[in-house]
Amino acid sequence: MQISKLRVAVLGAGAWARFAHIPGWQRDPRCEVVAICDPVRERAEEFATHFGIPQASSDWQQVVGRADVDVVDVCTPSHTHLELALAALESGKHVLCEKPVAYDFRETLRAAALAEARGLKTKLGFTFRYSPGVQFARSLIDEGFVGRPFIFNGYEQNSQWLDPRTPLRQVDPNADQSRIQTSSLEGYGAPIIDIGHWWVGADYARVVGTMRNFIPERMVRATGAMMRMNIDDGDIFIGEYTNGAIGSIQTSFVTVGNYPGIEARIYGEQGAIICRLVEEFGVAETVKLARPDAVEFQQVEIPQRFYPAGGHPRESWRSLFYANLIRDFIDEIRDGGPRNQGNFVDGARVQEVINAVEQSFHERRWVDLPLPR
């Protein structure tokens, strides 16, 4: 029996919940947000008032345990994701979780196995997989526009933390400063690695990469103080896919340019596609195509069918892309079939690549995939 409306509980009352998650849910008439939870109750109450959400709470266990909740949306600091996602799955809820589910891909696979055992759907916050441009490009790939893929180049870079006085959202003040900690690679590398997997149609077979800390002292949001922060604010890796294609990924949050700063390029036997997800001059994204007999890249219009209801090219990428993600997840849950793109298994594949690049950098060598389970 199909539920008339999916009932959603959102965990975390932060900026991303405000600008992407909750507007995405409330845009779709097939669901309703019934609860908002945050450790700071006043923040949850402010969200409840602003968005018209019936319940505000600071008790996540109570919210996750509600019998009338169908979906739990985990939009909290990353170190809490695994505990909350596992608890929601144990309670029989479908789960949308921001990335990463866990810092070790094996833990993400454990959560994916639990979801499968319980017959539940999961989805990662791979926002950019759901942009109209990326979805359009994938449809062209499916139709044979690219043909056999040769090379994938991916970039996610912008300058939002070029100024060291711009406080980082999450830091570990107790981290060993003699060893570089993963930041850009994990937070910014994940979405473009995911797009590469999806477009190329294969996993990586081996990777080699490097990381750099270009700005060593930064302001910490919690204290407002400057401190030594040995994090990768820029990184590059290259890899070989299992189907013979090769690829490169470059991420940074200290490279001059606008947010989110994603560009995906695929070159194949029959054609090439460049999809640029950078909000420039009021336009959220652009797609350009080329053929062997027409090598100049030409910008093309993204068909309206790839936009969410009411969506258009000049809408903010935050609400535009996330509305597609939410719509897709609701489709999958209501359909009840096997389709479930961008799920925890896909998240584990991406996190495994990140873990392999980390190992490659620290050991100064190529690393083969898959990693030991």
C-alpha–C-alpha distance, residues 99 and 279, integer Å: 22
311 φ/ψ angles, rounded to the nearest 5 degrees: -80, 155
Q: Are the C-beta atoms of 169 and 241 separated by less than 8 Å?
A: no
Is residue 151 within a helix (H) or strand (E), and if so which, with residue range?
strand 149-157
Pick from 370, 36, 33, 11: which is nearest to 206 by CA? Answer: 370
Q: Are the C-beta atoms of 260 and 243 separated by less than 8 Å?
A: no
CB crowding 258-292: b at 16 or more within 10 Å, else e: eebbbbbbbbbeebbbbbbbbbeeeebbbbebeee
Pick from 47, 55, 354: which is nearest to 193 by CA? Answer: 354
Domains, the chain, ranges and CATH?
6-120 (3.40.50.720), 129-308+344-368 (3.30.360.10)
Show contacts of 48-55: CB within 8 Å, 24+ apart: 50/18, 51/22, 51/26, 53/10, 53/22
Q: Are the C-beta atoms of 311 and 318 separated by less than 8 Å?
A: no
Residue range 131-152, pLDDT digits in tens: 999 999 999 999 999 999 999 9
pLDDT at 220: 83
What is the token pair recorded at 22? 């909750």
pLDDT at 3: 60
Q: Indicate the SS3 state at residue 107.
A: helix
Rounded mean pLDDT for each run of 10 residues along the chain, 373 residues in total: 82 96 97 98 98 98 97 96 98 97 97 98 97 98 98 96 86 77 93 98 98 94 87 97 98 94 98 96 96 97 96 94 97 95 98 98 98 95
pLDDT at 170: 60
Q: Could you identify the residue written with the tokens 């996750």?
A: 64
Q: What is the pTM of this model?
A: 0.95
How far CA 79 is from CA of 84, 102, 166, 213, in Å, comes to: 10, 7, 22, 22
